[in-house]
Structure 1
Amino acid sequence: MYSNNPKKYKRNSIRLKGYDYAQKGLYFITICTQNRHCFFGKITNGVLHLNDAGKMIEQWYYELENKFDDIKCGTHVVMPNHFHAIIHNIGVGADLRVCPNSNMGEHVPIMGEHIGSPLHVVVQWFKTMTTNQYIRNVKNNNWQRFDGKLWQRNYWEHIIRNEKSHQNISNYIVNNPLKWNADTLNPEP
């Protein structure tokens, strides 16, 4: 039975309270498959072997740059059951090709004003496109079926605040396949 109590169904946000995820910056994201099922390939002796589904995930990642003018794709890795990436939001107007005839001094963003694509919109578009493509391939190419949803409902993110953190996270992403046997996301350690 449905309850009229709004607190009963309220989800706690895992996002940084008060932070505008549309502002320029670097964001480290991790998206996991539903039930951590391995759909995208396998890792043998620390070597990643993407299957066609894993390659499709990678292709849609690069499509983010075509869909969102203010998004640049950084270091990433498609793991058997999750995806790590650094997304660089350069912000609207940061690239002079966006509006070459505008006087940049006329508009100064005010505190709290969105200047780029919100991270949740970028991630949701990516999850939607990859899910739709995966479903088409289940029907047409006998890809492994999934139960209910391809991706977990949420995603994990970390705001990268300095170059040292950026370098450490990039190294973590690149070396992630080598550490698969000890990875907490590995369902068969």
Structure 2
Amino acid sequence: MSDKFQGKYRNESARLQNWDYGSNAAYFITICTKDREHYLGEIINHKMQVSPAGGIAHVLWYEIKNHAKNIELGEFVVMPNHIHGILILNGNNAGIWDGVGTTHALSLQSNTIPPIDTGHTLSTPGQQRFQNQGKNTVSSIVGSYKSSVTKYCNRLGLDFGWQPRFYDHIIRNDESFQKISEYIKNNPANWLEDKLYQ
């Protein structure tokens, strides 16, 4: 991880006390795998080659916008032992998770998910459900995402786990947004210098 981002993550247990995490803002999110194991794939020739679990993490990230109100997704990358993504809450008036009835079923729309070459055939997670419905906050969105990835991996018998917490950084201006977006985009090419490399 480059020096410009060191020390700028906050652990979930140390969120800003005076900040409403349902507020309109862009949030740089990092979620690590349990014990930083390479469950999500490997970097080969400076490109990420996702595992089946990594493919699920990729697909379900792009499903977030179909289950949370007033949210946009910025740059995103799956790495061997973590993911980085930007969540943009915009027009959020303490919204709640939406869905059909109370099931909140995922309905994959292939035209909204960027293509990814997994090298494996994955079952469609069309019946996978987001949980932790509630206020449209960063914690509820990330918690639902983590839960969905874990449950779907478990259903397929994949060895996988997340660390209990996640890291966030509130992006405060356009310059920071552009720098973080570039950092995420270039993360696979810079893997050997990454703070999370093991």
Amino acid at match of 2:143: Q
- Aligned partner of residue 80 in structure 2, secondary structure: coil
| Residue in structure 2 matched with residue 135 of structure 1 by the alignment | 154
Where 1:178 maps in the other structure, the secondary structure is coil
**CA gap 1:12/1:30 in 2 versus in 1, 3 angstroms:** closer
Paired with 2:176 and 2:92, the residues of 1 have a C-alpha distance of: 24
- Corresponding letter in the other structure for 1:134: C
Residue correspondence of structure 1 range 96-175 to structure 2 within 5 A: 117-138=136-157, 143=158, 145-146=159-160, 150-175=161-186
> Map of 1:9-88 to 2, 5 A cutoff?
13-88=13-88
Amino acid at match of 1:128: S
Deviation at 1:12, TM superposition (A): 8.7
Contact 1:31-1:84 within 8 A present in 2 as well: yes
Alignment RMSD, CA only?
2.1
**Distance (Å, rounded) in 1 between the aligned partners of 2:177 and 2:154:** 34
Larger Rg: 1
Q: Rate the CA distance shift 1:173–1:47 in 2: closer, same or farther, 3 A.
A: same
Q: Which amino acid in the other structure matches residue 142 of structure 2?
A: V
What letter corresponds to residue 149 of structure 2 in structure 1? T
C-alpha separation between the residues in 2 aligned to 1:12 and 1:154? Answer: 6
Residue 73 of structure 1 aligns to a residue whose secondary structure is: strand
Per the alignment, residue 106 of structure 1 pairs with none
Matched-pair contact (CA < 8 Å) for 2:12–2:168: no
Task: List per-residue Cα deviations over 1:122-148 (Å, max 9, x = no partner).
Answer: 00000000000010111xxxx3x24xx
Q: In the alignment, what sits opposite 1:4? A: none
Residue type matched to 2:197 in 1? N
Give the secondary-structure state (helix, strand or coil) at the position aligned to 2:170. Answer: strand
How many positions carry a matched residue from both structures? 149
Offset at 1:45? 2.4
Q: More deviation in 168-177 or 40-49?
A: 40-49
The one-letter code matched in structure 1 to 2:177 is: H
163-172 vs 70-79, which deviates more? 70-79
SS in 2 for 1:117: coil
Distance 1:12 1:166 in 2: 21
The letter for the 2-side match of 1:179 is N
1:71 is displaced (CA, Å) by 1.5
Equivalent position amino acid for 2:68 in 1: F
> Which runs of 5 or more structure 1 residues have no equivalent in the other structure?
1-10, 94-115
**One-letter amino acid of the structure 2 residue matched with residue 88 of structure 1:** I
- Unpaired segments of 5 or more residues in structure 2? 1-10, 94-134
The structure 1 segments of at least 4 consecutive aligned residues displaced by more than 2 Å after TM superposition are: none
Residue identity matched to 2:144: W
Q: Which amino acid aligns with 1:129?
A: S
1:180 partner amino acid: W
- Measured in 2, the distance between the counterparts of 1:181 and 1:129 equals 29
